[in-house]
């Protein structure tokens, strides 16, 4: 927050009028955030400016906080919300992604305020939950699927809008009503005076639990929540060369929050590479081991070597090959994620085996060979 002892008017901070629409407020903040973001603007005053505009946006982008500020000014905010509460419900992440700052709001404000914002996803307020929730699905992939790319069909359980009430939570033929206790603000206030001082206390409305709405006849399908859980089948295209732990984002395929009739959040497919019996992977390159006996190593030979694409290739092993020699098969690795026309290589380590048991005839032949070698 701004270190100034007297806070500036939030509308003045953003440079918008008091009747500005939510879209106008969001658009203005996006431009200012791009101008004063700490990764872009290294001016000594930029950090304080960035905090100030972000606080103003957090208040004015939230209907309840904005109404509270319009009625009571900064005192209404200071008396009701902690520093974390101010920022918790604002959707900064989408804005930061739009302007190309993937680090997100949490990491920046952790450094500004010494932590506390990293838990925003884990401890959502009721209002935040209504916006929808990101879902994560871990997808196991074989190395063969990663090498060539694949298409997978998955089934996701998620909350969707209740068809019976269209998401408003009320039984068909009825609608939610404005809470008579708080007049739709979601908050109640008490005022006490003593001499020249005046104390304002603000509470979450007990009747509507802060939603501003009450439902006399809840929908029997969703029990008034506005959403029900369904299983949804999705087809996911996995590009070749994807890394273990990489995520694919499917916009709008996440879950609705309870009571929400808006757009669902996103679904993240986390790709997990399964262990392989033959190959190990390093980037786009593959590594494997083949064994040959000492006679083939000494005389040279040709051997079949498996590839990740299901076929084997014949590889020439030169005479005199030592155990641990590495042979390179160019272009037989995994297709590159950055350049699909390029493939990595396959590296084959030759393991020379020595027989553990010899027949008398074999032993005699090897003894004569040893004598010949020693006479050189």
Give the residue with greater pLDDT, 279 vs 258: 279
Q: Which segment of 58-72, 123-137, 190-204 scores lowest on mean pLDDT?
A: 123-137
Mean pLDDT of the region 48-73: 88
Mean pLDDT of the region 177-189: 87
CATH number of 1-123: 1.10.287.110
SS3 string of 185-222?
CCEEEEEEEECCEEEEEEEECCCCCCCCEECCCECCCC
Residue-range domain boundaries for the chain:
1-123, 280-357
- Give residue 79's pLDDT band: very low, low, confident or very high (50, 70, 90): low
Has residue 32 got a pLDDT over 50?
yes
Has residue 116 got a pLDDT over 60?
no
What's the confidence (pLDDT) of residue 134? 77
Mean pLDDT of the region 309-317: 93
What's the confidence (pLDDT) of residue 118? 38
Give the residue with greater pLDDT, 256 vs 316: 316
What's the confidence (pLDDT) of residue 45? 85
Query: Do the domains 280-357 and 1-123 match in fold?
Result: no
State the average pLDDT for the chain: 82
Q: Which segment of 246-260, 261-275, 284-298 scores lowest on mean pLDDT?
A: 246-260
Rg (CA), the chain: 33
Interhelix angle 46-60/22-36, nearest 10 degrees: 170
Contact present, 262 and 128 (Cβ < 8 Å): no
Alpha helices in the chain (DSSP H): 10-14, 22-36, 46-60, 63-72, 74-78, 83-88, 92-98, 104-113, 126-129, 143-148, 294-299, 360-374
- Give residue 119's pLDDT band: very low, low, confident or very high (50, 70, 90): very low
Has residue 185 got a pLDDT over 80?
yes
String of DSSP letters for 329-365: ETT-SPBPSS-TT-B--EEEEEEEE--S---HHHHHH
Q: Is the pTM of this model over 0.85?
A: no
Which tens digits make up the pLDDT trace of 283-312? 999 999 999 999 999 999 999 999 999 899
The CATH-assigned architecture of domain 280-357 is: Sandwich (2.60)
What's the confidence (pLDDT) of residue 11? 94
């Amino acid at each position: 927050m701004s270190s100034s002892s007297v806070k500036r008017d939030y509308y003045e901070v953003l440079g918008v009028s008091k009747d500005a629409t939510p879209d106008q407020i969001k658009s203005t903040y996006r431009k200012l955030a791009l101008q004063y973001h700490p990764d872009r603007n290294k001016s000594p005053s930029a950090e304080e400016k960035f905090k100030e505009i972000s606080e103003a946006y957090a208040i004015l982008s939230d209907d309840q906080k904005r109404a509270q500020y319009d009625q009571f000014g900064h005192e209404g905010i200071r008396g009701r919300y902690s520093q974390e509460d101010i920022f918790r419900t604002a959707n900064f992440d989408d804005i930061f992604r739009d302007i190309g700052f993937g680090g997100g709001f949490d990491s920046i404000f952790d450094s500004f305020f010494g932590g506390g914002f990293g838990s925003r996803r884990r401890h959502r307020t009721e209002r935040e939950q209504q916006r929808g929730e990101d879902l994560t699905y871990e997808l196991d992939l074989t190395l063969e699927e990663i090498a060539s790319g694949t298409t997978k069909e998955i089934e996701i359980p998620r909350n969707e809008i209740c068809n019976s009430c269209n998401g408003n939570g009320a039984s068909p033929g009825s609608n939610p009503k404005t809470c008579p206790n708080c007049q739709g603000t979601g908050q109640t206030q008490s005022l006490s005076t003593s001499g020249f001082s005046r104390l304002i206390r603000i509470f979450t409305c007990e009747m509507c639990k802060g939603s501003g709405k009450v439902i006399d006849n809840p929908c029997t399908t969703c029990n008034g929540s506005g959403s029900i859980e369904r299983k949804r089948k999705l087809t996911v295209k996995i590009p070749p060369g994807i890394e273990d732990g990489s995520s694919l984002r499917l916009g709008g395929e996440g879950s609705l929050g309870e009571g929400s009739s808006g757009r669902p959040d996103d679904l993240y497919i986390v790709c997990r590479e399964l262990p392989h019996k033959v190959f190990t992977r390093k980037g786009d390159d593959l590594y494997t081991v083949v064994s040959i006996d000492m006679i083939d190593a000494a005389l040279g030979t040709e051997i079949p070597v498996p590839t990740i694409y299901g076929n084997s290739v014949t590889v020439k092993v030169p005479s005199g090959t030592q155990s641990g020699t590495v042979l390179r098969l160019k272009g037989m690795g995994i297709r590159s994620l950055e350049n699909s026309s390029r493939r990595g290589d396959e590296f084959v380590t030759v393991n020379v085996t020595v027989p553990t048991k010899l027949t008398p005839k074999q032993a005699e032949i090897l003894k004569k060979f040893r004598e010949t070698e020693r006479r050189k």
